[in-house]
Amino acid sequence: MSDLSGEIIDNRYQLIRQIANGGMASIYEAIDTRLDRKVAVKIMHPHLAQDDAFVSRFIREAKAAAALSHPNIVAVQDQGWNQNGVPAVFLVMELIEGHTLREYLNERGRFEIIDAINYLTPILSALAAAHALGIVHRDIKPENILISKEGRIKIADFGLARGELIGSTMTAESSVILGSVSYLSPEQVQRGIADARSDVYAVGIVAFEMLIGEKPFIGDSPIQIAYMHVNQETPALRTKRKEIPEALETLIARATDRDPDKRPRNAGEFLVALEAISIVLDPKKNQLKLDLDLPVEPIREKPRGKVKKVVEEVIEKTVEVVEDAKSLKHSEEKKFKSSKRVRRNRKVALVLAIALGIGGWYTLIGPGSRIVVPSTIGGSYNEAVSAFNPLGITSIIVEKRFDEEISKGAIIESIPPGGGRIENGASVTLIISKGPERYIVPTLKGLTPEAAKRAILKYPLVVGKVSVVFNSEIPQGFVITSTPVSGVQVKRDSLVNLVVSKGVETIAVVSFVGKSAEQALNELTDAGFNVESVFAFDEKILAGAVISQTPKGDASIAKGARITLVVSKGSQYVYIPNIFSIEEAKAVRVLKDLELKVVVKKLGSKKIKKVTNISPKIGSKVKRGSTVTITVG
């Protein structure tokens, strides 16, 4: 996001200078022109202002802080959308002039025990007020703890806060990503949930860092650190610093316990326990508390170099000359000299007024007049034109560039950037996103490998490995498919692997004539053939054995081909069995098992009838399916 210093937001807030810049927003020192006071204005990056989830989080930060009234919480004073000039979603807060706890940690290393408790007390007091209203901060870390020049502790950035008063529109997953992994509780990492005990855990980690001078878990990557929070206990304080009281070590261990149920239930309970330890360490605190500001040790400023040294030398010499001149004058000349100085000052003022007038003419309407280019990042071309036309900017050069993050058609940057100045008639270049750089894998099926490679190399893609497999549809030597498949969009320099056909796979088949049809069926099916069985009578081949097969055995056949087996049903002739004196039902069953048709003639009145006669006679050779007549009585 370009620097918006000098812009006026909402016709009220004059941005002076940028004091912080993050992944979601930039913070400016500003003047509230209506109330004539300094404020901090937080402005969301333009490309995020199009995302409802981010805007919801931004507004929720305002609601979360506005719902709280506590001397140790940064007060939110206003929130809105800039309707004129640069499109912006903004948040107005009280301006805290000072430093963050992170800067103090970097400066000091570790804190004295009493100092650490004195810093933790207002932090917990502020969180206790939030927890009492059902609001959970969820992003406590040294960067969000401010220390004013007067020594007042302030908690900022309730952007991840959740509670009944402010709603909860962000997902658990996004909150885990946005939070700082070094201070995330195990339940936030594992399940994406957070309550007051999660804030207690984060304060416990901050306390550990203040007392020891380093974080309890240090790793090469955020994932490794998150794993440590979930699977390892926080190191005991006294193993790293012997003079820490045992009661304080026990309290911090409770606050950073992996099991939320073993921690203090909220910041208020944590604060009560910490104050009890503080009174033991310093009995004088067992008096009426006034919550005075902390004595602040200023952060050491970096030397400004030769310029500062030269200025100081000039001032010293000037003072010496003035002092020497004064020592040479008599006291009676002071009145005369004073009046001469007044006349001189008037001349200087006149010269300055003339110079300012000439400078104003040159800047505003003379050769030096220039147009301030508004910020257009994240907007569309049409929106940029709408912003440029009232300013007289009509010469717009458009360049397009691929971008993995900025959506197609949105402006990535402008030349000059927002806030820059151009002369009348000068052009502004807009770099517009073409979206992510992607290329479609061409159709390669049915091509030879050489033709497929040429088709791939027409794009900024790379030919990968070529593998060959059997295939019954694509002829040998032609491409079957690719990985990724044709039609898929891929990034520049992506590998495209080819799969080429070896043709139809053939298998040598033996002859199963005279062998068991069941054995033939199992072996041929396992080999990948499509087997069909038909049945026929045969006077020589036993029933259940193979009479013939097509194609014949002892040949190489394509895998998956159809093989037909002719299976013997045995002889088509049978001999009439001896069934005299056998009960009717049993006799009928024996004849039908021989595939004969049976006609029964009944004589007499016996309940159980037996065979008394059979035609054809016993031992006759007949075809299966012939009719046999039996007489029972």
Catalytic residue ranges: 139
CA distances to 21, 98, 337 from 326, rounded to whole Å, are 51, 41, 11
Residues 6 or more apart from 586 whose CB is under 8 A from it? Answer: 579
The one-letter amino acid at 408: K
Cβ-based burial of 532 (10 A; exposed 0-12, middle 13-18, buried ≥19): exposed
Whole-angstrom distance, CA of residue 169 vs CA of residue 52:
10
Q: Using the structure block, give the residue that is written with the tokens 């081949």.
A: 541
For the residues of 300-314, what is the DSSP string, one character each?
PPPP--HHHHHHHHH
- Pair of tokens at residue 141: 């870390």
Contact 123, 153 (CB under 8 A): yes
Alpha helices in 217-305 (DSSP H): 222-231, 246-255, 267-281
**Residue 456 CB coordination number (10 Å):** 21
Name the residue among 431, 376, 364 with its Cα closest to residue 4. Answer: 376
Q: What element of type H or E holds 142? A: none
The one-letter amino acid at 555: A
Name the residue among 585, 582, 583, 581 with its Cα closest to residue 598. Answer: 585
Strand 555-558, strand 506-509: pairing: antiparallel
Whole-angstrom distance, CA of residue 566 vs CA of residue 555:
18
Contact 627, 597 (CB under 8 A): yes
Contacts 24+ apart (CB under 8 A), 265-269: 265/196, 265/197, 265/200, 266/127, 266/128, 266/131, 266/196, 266/197, 266/199, 266/200, 267/124, 267/125, 267/127, 267/128, 267/130, 267/131, 267/196, 267/199, 267/200, 267/203, 268/124, 268/128, 268/131, 268/132
Contact 590, 577 (CB under 8 A): yes
3-state secondary structure of 59: helix
Q: What element of type H or E holds 243? A: none
